[in-house]
Amino acid sequence: MVKILIILMLLSTVCFGQYVDALSKLSISAIAGKDSVNIYMEALNGSGSLTSYKVPLDSLLQYGSTRLAASIATVTSTSTIDSTYGIILVNATSGSITLNLTAVASLQTGKRFIIKRTDSSANTVTVDPSSSETIDDETTQTLNQYDCLEIFSDGSEWWIK
């Protein structure tokens, strides 16, 4: 129960800019659509007026630039990175790896990936955007031993944070 109240207060702070009495004034419902889940929230603001807010679930999983929840995957071979990924731990001990990014247009604007290389081998780890897309105007990015790369989409290309 305490965890639920903390989450509700955090959500109300993110969406309404203030804490609300989570038990008596905040109403949250979720509606699953074809490609997303939207959270609908209503709360009494400081002046007693009812305020409504609709936000995609993925947006609630971010607080500013810090992700509160993300999937974590370990990759040990060449893989295609799609919307199901969040944090990617890459171990290239067994050989060179290419991470092929899904086309930006197929992902939600603002989608982020954190890619962390977890080994000290001499093998190569390459992050390769789809087709002619780039990451900071480069066709690929290479991760050396223990490097970390955080990228985000603006809806048309990838950028390094």
Tens-digit pLDDT profile for residues 104-142: 999 988 899 999 999 999 999 999 999 999 999 999 999
**What gap in Å lies between CA 144 and CA 123, rounded to an integer?**
9
The region that residue 11 occupies, defined by phi over 0 for left and psi between -120 and 50 for alpha, beta otherwise, is alpha
Report residue 70 as tokens.
Answer: 């993300």
Sign for the CA dihedral angle at 61, 67, 72, 74 comes to: positive
Domain ranges of the chain: 2-63, 70-160
Report residue 21 as tokens.
Answer: 């009495």
Cβ atoms of 112 and 67 within 8 Å: the answer is: yes
Q: Rounded to two decimals, what is the model's pTM?
A: 0.61
Report residue 11 as tokens.
Answer: 């959500």
Tens-digit pLDDT profile for residues 48-80: 665 655 555 555 554 444 444 568 999 999 999
Amino acid at 111: K
